[in-house]
């Protein structure tokens, strides 16, 4: 299970400290499904449900794609995109020689990106997984039409066999198209919102195609969610939610999520959506930002150390690295680095993390450590479940509905009107 260490934040707390009683009430609402938006809390049962229903067919579809194609084009945006990308970049940052290359489109309206991706697919066998719960989101719909055309050019009347649609079980344009063309379909459950859907077919199909062991992910998630149902201040989700809400009440309005693994970058993007879309409403919400250490210490380090004192820092740390590499000794010592010779690079990284933490805490930045054993399937599942449960608790603590996103509609209305969509 994830461990949360608040020792680098404690000196910034008031003497009363984080409100664990409130965290407990929020957690109870979540578990009893009596809080705001409780009709969208199906993600808490999702791993067990998916294991009992769709998991085998997701894996079978992934194997079919892996055996015949060199690439998978994943079409989706927001909650229908970031979880899969976060998982794949975290666990498979460099594809193995038998792994298809995964392209993500549908998450922009960029002619350059679309054309570059089309060019790359010219000579390559590929499949498409189009993911949209509503089936009406413009960005993925635009990309899908374009890549569907390429499939039709390449495979003629066999194109339909190369399309996998992940969408609502009953309604929406994508569902109707899938039914009329006979595409293999997977379900985005009614009671699971986009940003909580990574452990459904939304995330699992692309992950399985990339070579991630999704059975291990799901088994670990089932165990993790059981552990996170613990109703106690020892629950790491309580600790994290209560600490960040306590700091927010003391005007720490920005949370930077940091990690020392470059492969974590898109997990941080997933986390930003999860927290930003769940908490940023009714005029409140911690602003979620992310940094990649140690790289960003050389760009954002100055601001973090000495800028406005509005920042709290949450650091994801992996206890063990997957690989070891002893830094070599060099007789001549021309670069003067023999003082670290013989030490493992991972250990040097941990020392750097401790040094950064001390510096930032003494510079006035509360520090929360979120520790996971390893960057593997179990570690990924642990992080996802931990962040989801803590996000719901934190949202309920601040009095918002963590499961809606009414603010996202504003730009869509404008865009559709300006593009001349009929009826707008
Ligand atoms: O979390 C959310 O609900 C959003 O980010 C959606 O996932 C995103 O807007 C894409 O929507 P859809 O899956 O309906 O295309």
**Is-contact 30 41, C-beta < 8 A?**
yes
Residue 153, in any domain of the structure: yes
**pLDDT at residue 411, rounded to an integer:** 85
Residue 384, in any domain of the structure: yes
Mean pLDDT of the 332-352 span:
97
**Is-contact 100 210, C-beta < 8 A?**
yes
- Which of 97, 298, 331, 409 is catalytic? The answer is 298
Instruction: Read off the CATH number of the domain in which 348 is found.
Output: 3.40.50.10490
Query: Do residues 22 and 49 both lie within one domain?
Result: no
d(CA 369, CA 236): 11
100 Cα to the center of ligand 1, angstroms: 25
d(CA 126, CA 143): 15
**Could you read off the pLDDT of 131-172 as tens digits, one per residue?**
999 888 999 999 999 999 999 999 999 999 999 999 999 999
Pairing of strands 163-167, 184-187: parallel
Cα angle, residue 331 at apex, residues 326 and 337 outer, rounded to 5°: 55
Token reading at 147: 């890549």
Has residue 409 got a pLDDT over 90?
no
Has residue 408 got a pLDDT over 90?
no
Residue 282, domain extent: 3-36+227-403
**pLDDT at residue 423, rounded to an integer:** 83
Has residue 406 got a pLDDT over 90?
no
Residue 350 among the catalytic residues:
no
Give me the DSSP letters along 165-223.
EEE-SS-SHHHHHHHHHT-EEEE--TTB-GGG-TTSHHHHHHHHHTT--HHHHHHHHHH
How many separate domains does the chain show? 2
Residue 184, in any domain of the structure: yes
Mean pLDDT of the 412-418 span:
87
Is any atom of ligand 1 closer than 6 Å to the C-beta of 37?
A: no
Three-state secondary structure call for residue 134: coil
Has residue 58 got a pLDDT over 90?
yes
d(CA 361, CA 249): 18
Is any atom of ligand 1 closer than 6 Å to the C-beta of 143?
A: no
Has residue 121 got a pLDDT over 90?
yes
Residue 123, in any domain of the structure: yes
Query: Do residues 97 and 50 both lie within one domain?
Result: yes
Pairing of strands 126-132, 163-167: parallel
User: Using CB atoms within 10 A of its CB, is residue 125 exposed (0-12), middle (13-18) or buried (19+)?
Assistant: middle
Sign of the Cα torsion 66, 72, 75, 77 reads: positive
**Could you read off the pLDDT of 238-255 as tens digits, one per residue?**
999 999 999 999 999 999
Which ligand 1 atom sits closest to the C-alpha of 408? 9
Query: Do residues 139 and 271 both lie within one domain?
Result: no
Residue 409, in any domain of the structure: no
- Which of 224, 277, 279, 377 is catalytic? The answer is 277
Mutation to probe ligand 1, out of 37, 42, 78 (largest number of atoms < 8 A from CB): 78
Sign of the Cα torsion 76, 79, 82, 83 reads: negative
Given 219, 249, 266, which residue is the final one in a domain? 219
What strands lie across the sheet with 184-187, from one edge to the other? 101-105, 71-75, 126-132, 163-167, 184-187
Query: Do residues 175 and 204 both lie within one domain?
Result: yes
Query: Do residues 350 and 384 both lie within one domain?
Result: yes
Residue 277 among the catalytic residues:
yes
Q: Whose CA is nearest to atom 9 of ligand 1?
A: 78
Residue 416, in any domain of the structure: no
Query: Do residues 148 and 174 both lie within one domain?
Result: yes
Query: Do residues 275 and 399 both lie within one domain?
Result: yes
Mutation to probe ligand 1, out of 77, 188, 403 (largest number of atoms < 8 A from CB): 77
Which ligand 1 atom sits closest to the C-alpha of 81? 7
Q: What percent of the chain has pLDDT over 90?
A: 93
Which residues share a beta bridge with 185? 165
Has residue 109 got a pLDDT over 90?
yes
Q: pLDDT class for 123, splitting at 50, 70, 90?
A: confident
Given 191, 219, 247, which residue is the final one in a domain? 219
Residue 417, in any domain of the structure: no
Residue 298 among the catalytic residues:
yes
Mean pLDDT of the 321-349 span:
97
Peptide bond into 294 cis (omega under 30): yes
**Is-contact 319 286, C-beta < 8 A?**
no
Query: Do residues 345 and 200 both lie within one domain?
Result: no
Tell me the angle at which helices 214-227 and 55-68 cross, rounded to the nearest 10 degrees. 150
134 Cα to the center of ligand 1, angstroms: 7
Query: Do residues 165 and 45 both lie within one domain?
Result: yes
pTM: 0.96
Is any atom of ligand 1 closer than 6 Å to the C-beta of 133?
A: yes
Which residues share a beta bridge with 313? 256, 367
Buried b (16+ CB within 10 A) or exposed e, 334-344: eeeeeeeeeee
Query: Do residues 90 and 7 both lie within one domain?
Result: no
Q: pLDDT class for 1, splitting at 50, 70, 90?
A: confident
Residue 162, in any domain of the structure: yes
Is any atom of ligand 1 closer than 6 Å to the C-beta of 107?
A: no
Query: Do residues 255 and 194 both lie within one domain?
Result: no
Is any atom of ligand 1 closer than 6 Å to the C-beta of 134?
A: yes
Query: Do residues 374 and 303 both lie within one domain?
Result: yes
Is any atom of ligand 1 closer than 6 Å to the C-beta of 194?
A: yes
Three-state secondary structure call for residue 284: strand
d(CA 308, CA 337): 36
Mean pLDDT of the 393-411 span:
92
Given 167, 189, 219, which residue is the final one in a domain? 219
The overall average pLDDT reported for the chain is 96
Has residue 80 got a pLDDT over 90?
yes
Which residues share a beta bridge with 41? 192
Among 85-89, 351-355, 368-372, 405-409, the minimum mean pLDDT is found in 405-409
d(CA 240, CA 5): 9
How many residues are listed for the chain in this entry?
Answer: 424
Mean pLDDT of the 377-402 span:
98
């Amino acid at each position: 299970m994830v461990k949360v260490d608040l020792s680098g934040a404690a000196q910034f707390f008031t003497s009363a400290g984080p409100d664990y009683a409130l965290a407990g009430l929020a957690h109870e609402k979540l578990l009893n499904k009596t809080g705001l938006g409780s009709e969208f809390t199906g993600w808490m049962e999702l791993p067990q449900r998916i294991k009992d229903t769709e998991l085998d067919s997701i894996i079978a579809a992934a194997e079919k794609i892996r055996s015949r194609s060199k690439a998978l084009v994943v079409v989706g945006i927001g909650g229908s995109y970031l979880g899969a990308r976060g998982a794949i970049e975290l666990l498979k940052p460099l594809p193995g020689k038998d792994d298809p290359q995964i392209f993500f489109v549908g998450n922009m309206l960029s002619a350059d990106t679309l054309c570059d991706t089309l060019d790359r697919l010219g000579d390559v066998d590929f499949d498409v997984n189009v993911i949209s719960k509503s089936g009406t989101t413009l960005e993925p719909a635009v990309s899908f039409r374009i890549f569907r055309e390429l499939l039709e050019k390449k495979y003629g009347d066999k194109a339909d066999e190369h399309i996998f649609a992940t969408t609502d079980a009953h309604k929406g344009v994508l569902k109707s198209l899938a039914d009329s063309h006979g595409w293999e379909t997977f379900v985005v459950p009614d009671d699971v919102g986009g940003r909580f859907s990574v452990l459904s077919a939304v995330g699992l199909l692309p992950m399985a195609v990339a070579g991630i062991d999704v059975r291990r992910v799901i088994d670990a998630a089932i165990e993790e969610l059981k552990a996170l149902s613990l109703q106690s201040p020892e629950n790491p989700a309580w600790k994290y939610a209560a600490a960040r809400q306590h700091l927010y009440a003391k005007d720490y309005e920005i949370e930077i999520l940091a990690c020392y693994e470059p492969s974590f970058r898109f997990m941080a993007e997933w986390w930003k959506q999860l927290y930003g879309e769940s908490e940023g409403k009714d005029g409140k919400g911690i602003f979620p930002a992310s940094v990649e250490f140690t790289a960003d210490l050389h760009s954002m380090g100055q601001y973090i150390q000495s800028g406005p004192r509005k920042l709290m820092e949450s650091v994801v740390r992996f206890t063990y690295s997957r690989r070891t590499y002893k830094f070599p000794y060099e007789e001549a010592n021309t670069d003067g680095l023999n003082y670290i010779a013989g030490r493992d690079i991972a250990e040097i990284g941990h020392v750097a993390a401790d040094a950064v933490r001390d510096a930032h805490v003494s510079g006035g930045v509360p520090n929360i450590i979120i520790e996971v054993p390893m960057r593997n399937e179990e570690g990924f599942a642990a992080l996802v479940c931990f962040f989801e449960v803590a996000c719901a608790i934190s949202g309920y603590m601040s009095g918002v509905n963590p499961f809606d996103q009414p603010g996202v509609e504003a730009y869509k209305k404008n865009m559709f009107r300006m593009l001349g969509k009929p009826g707008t």
